[in-house]
Amino acid sequence: MNYAIEINGLTKKFDSLTAINTLDLKIKQGEMFGLVGPDGAGKTTLIRILCGIIEPDEGDISILGYKLDSETNQIKRRIGYLSQKFSLYGDLSIDENIEFFADIHQVADYRQRREELLEFTRLTPFRDRLADRLSGGMKQKLALACTLIHTPAIIFLDEPTTGVDPVSRRDFWKILSELLNQGITIIMTTPYLDEAERCSKVGMINRGELMAYDTPDNVKAKMDSRVLEIVCYPARKALHILKDMPEVQEAQAFGDRVNVFAEDTEEIASRIKSELESNGVTVSSQRVITPSLENVFISLMQSE
């Protein structure tokens, strides 16, 4: 099997803080891997290690068949990295920014590639506009075009859609889907669980350790119970009441909704409704749903 990335026993410490703790991970070529976790979980540290920006303390890493510790230059020519704070030059136009990054990557004949990328990211009509005058979504598209100018086999995206409006997020994901169709391997971190649902594989990380790693469907299947979704008010009061009920395994609040986990959610639904209403909680509706990645993630975090 062809793996784009193979990691064995990776550890990285910053003084007394262990950012990555003996992590093992394999990512196939041509798939999209989504890494999710809370702030400080180790997501950005892992990406920066894989890009050769910081050195690990322990472990073996192979990228596209090259050893990271001894063949870094070979790897860097074949990867692209879009960081959380990608540095575009505001006083340069879209065209000029792409040309600048082509020079950095020593792409001699970049003009045809630039035309392809401008068309691909739908930025051709705006090519003369200064980067400072672009919207957040357009800046991310330009940053991606700059990341792709040297035709990498793997791209690393560190929370690429954070702070981007929903329409631009959707457009960005369309572009990523087209990149997957071209056989490019995509490794991304994201705070959005709905984005992780779109990935081929997802890894849930906390305190530098993988809590779960599999396809989104298989990760969700780890929760063998169904979920009773209750729309109610006040939800916080309902949450505290539900957590005191012995038949409730777990309860999670999402705005005006509370998700309840139990061995048989359908059987106890009427009893839960009666208990809530007798304690002054208004129940608008109830329904049984399948667990989401967000349910799994919160459950794993609470268990830790």
**What whole-number percentage of the chain has pLDDT above 90?**
75
Task: Give the C-alpha separation, 40 to 34, whole Å.
Answer: 16
* Domains, in order of start, for the chain: 3-220 (3.40.50.300), 223-303 (3.30.70.100)
- The torsion region of residue 106 among left (phi > 0), alpha (psi -120 to 50) and beta comes to left
**Residue among 214, 205, 178 nearest 47 (CA):** 205
- The stretch 206-234 carries a mean pLDDT of 90
Q: What pLDDT score does 86 carry? A: 73
Give the distance, in angstroms, between the CA of residue 289 and the centroid of all CA atoms in the same chain.
24
Q: In what order do the strands lie in the sheet with 66-67?
A: 17-28, 3-14, 58-63, 66-67
Identify any residues that bridge with 23 across adjacent strands, giving them in sequence order: 10
* pLDDT classification of 1: cutoffs 50, 70, 90: low
Q: Which residue has the higher pLDDT, 56 or 86?
A: 56
Would the pLDDT of 138 be above 80? Answer: yes
- Go through the chain and tell me how many residues it has: 304
Contacts of 168 (CB under 8 A, 6+ apart): 135, 136, 137, 138, 140, 141, 161
Q: Kindly state the tokens that stand for 71.
A: 């063949």
Helix axes 265-278 and 235-243, enclosed angle (nearest 10): 120
Q: In what order do the strands lie in the sheet with 201-206?
A: 79-82, 154-158, 185-189, 32-36, 201-206, 209-214
**Residue among 188, 129, 124, 184 nearest 156 (CA):** 188
Phi and psi at 259, nearest 5°, equal -100, 130
Contacts of 11 (CB under 8 A, 6+ apart): 18, 20, 21, 22, 23, 56, 57, 58, 59
pLDDT in tens, 142-180: 999 999 999 999 999 999 888 788 888 888 999 999 999
Q: Report the run of H or E that residue 178 belongs to, with start and end.
A: helix 166-181
**Residue among 69, 65, 59 nearest 25 (CA):** 59
pTM of the shown model: 0.87
Q: What is the mean pLDDT of the chain?
A: 92
pLDDT in tens, 231-251: 999 999 999 999 999 989 889
pLDDT in tens, 277-297: 999 999 999 998 888 898 888
Strands (E), 37-114: 58-63, 66-67, 79-82
- The stretch 295-300 carries a mean pLDDT of 87
Would the pLDDT of 225 be above 80? Answer: no
Q: What pLDDT score does 278 carry? A: 95
Task: Give the C-alpha separation, 140 to 122, whole Å.
Answer: 12
Task: Give the C-alpha separation, 302 to 304, whole Å.
Answer: 5
pLDDT in tens, 64-108: 999 999 999 999 999 999 987 778 899 999 999 999 999 999 998
